[in-house]
Structure 1
Amino acid sequence: MLITAVEPRRKGLSALFLDGEFAANIDTETLLRSGLRPGREIDDDQLHGLILESDNRRAGEKALYLLEHRNHSQKELADKISRITTREAAEAAARHMAELGLVNDGEYARDLAADLFRRKGYSASRVRRELLQKGIEEELVQQILEEKAPDPVEKIRELLDKKYGRLLGDEKGRRRSIAALQRLGYGWDDIRAAINQFENEDE
């Protein structure tokens, strides 16, 4: 196949045309290093290798860019990278970041759980769901919840004191408060116990 044109594209990409037809978008740096340019011949194996090298380079750069802004779990990082590369390249880049120590699922999960308990007021079940969605392993999730989960009734009392208690004065407000606490993941038994404590203390 004859390389008939190379045209610049956005985000550091170049469009590669073979025999007059568009073939692939290739990372520009990868293309320059390959020495391939219009007028040169390229076979299927060379093209496949070029695309793989381009994907791997883009995946690595995207991983570093994402990690500059905040921590990620390995799965979350791979999911985001895969929006611009193959899944294989994305997972390889995420693994490489973990090998370099730039991604640590345990540290990430503990920080996230602490933030969700403290800032969001989530229950242990809601935090469990959030961590599992980020790709954290079940065993590690359970360990973190045992370390960090507050007593649910005490946490609901805290939320009532800060935000929801003032709504308990009428039936509509009471329903709104209960619904809000349920959305945070708390069960009815814990909510009822906390509300009873809150109202008895007020009396």
Structure 2
Amino acid sequence: MTVTEIVPFDKRRSKVILEDDFTLVLYRGEIRKFGIEEGKPLSEDTYQEILQEVLFKRARERVLFLLKSSDKTEQELRRKLKDGGYPKEAADYAINFLKEHRFLNDFDYGQRYVEFNSGRKSERQIRYELQKKGLDKEVIQEILSEQPVDEEAQIRAYVRKKCLKPEEMDVKERSRMMAALARRGFSYDSISSVLGGLYSDD
């Protein structure tokens, strides 16, 4: 690997750009310590030394710090490490460390997420957000099977909050309300079930 460029990253660190746009972010003192210079090769031995002595530990400390503020999925942590200039080997090391010490479990994360949001978000919205965070569809399905989202309760709460009276609405107004609920991600079955039930005492 040849060092093609060294550019400032912040006040104390620089990006070491290697061939194929592969990038390491190191403190300037570390760059001097490992003899890294533009236009010169970076040996595999030196690269492994940087990983073992510097980046593995730094990546581990970074993910532990990130988890202090809020729960995160594996994909979110990997994205943060990549944005911070950590190579895949360092990210793998940090993620494996978290898993070995049970600091990271996407299934547990999903269960907590559903538990926290099931009273204010539709099932479709929860599915979408968990997939975006990197959870597999099968894992999400398993979690939702164990912890179903009560969409009908949410819809009833929405109707009460808005002081709506579907039984007094004309077809156009009723259709508009159903469309608004659908945009919030609620299923047609849940919407129809609640709006039908509102004709009698809730």
What is the CA–CA distance in structure 1 between the aligned matches of 2:76 and 2:113, rounded to whole Å? 13
After superposition, where does 1:108-123 map in structure 2 within 5 Å?
108-118=109-119, 120-123=120-123
Secondary structure of the residue aligned to 1:64 is helix
Which sits farther off after the overlay, 169-178 or 188-197?
Answer: 169-178
After superposition, where does 1:154-169 map in structure 2 within 5 Å?
154-163=153-162, 165=164, 169=169
Letter in 1 for 2:185: G
- Give the C-alpha shift of residue 145 in structure 1: 1.0
What is the CA–CA distance in structure 2 between the aligned matches of 1:68 and 1:178, rounded to whole Å? 41
Which sits farther off after the overlay, 62-71 or 145-154?
Answer: 145-154
CA RMSD of aligned residues (A): 4.0
Q: Percent identity?
A: 26
Higher relative contact order (CA 8 A, sep 6+): 2
- Give the C-alpha shift of residue 57 in structure 1: 4.3
Q: Deviations over 1:152-195 (max 9, x none)?
A: 33432233223473688466654443223213322223212211
Which residue of structure 2 aligns with residue 49 of structure 1? 48
Conserved 8 A contact 2:75-2:134: yes
- Unaligned residue ranges in structure 1 (runs of 5+): 18-22
Conserved 8 A contact 2:118-2:150: no
Which residue of structure 2 aligns with residue 130 of structure 1? 129
Letter in 1 for 2:83: R
Sort the Cα spacing of 1:200 and 1:57 in 2 relative to 1 into closer, same or farther, 3 A. same
State yes or no: 1:100 paired with 2:80. no
Conserved 8 A contact 2:155-2:191: yes
Which residue of structure 2 aligns with residue 185 of structure 1? 185
Sort the Cα spacing of 1:169 and 1:12 in 2 relative to 1 into closer, same or farther, 3 A. farther
Letter in 2 for 1:195: L
- Unaligned residue ranges in structure 2 (runs of 5+): none
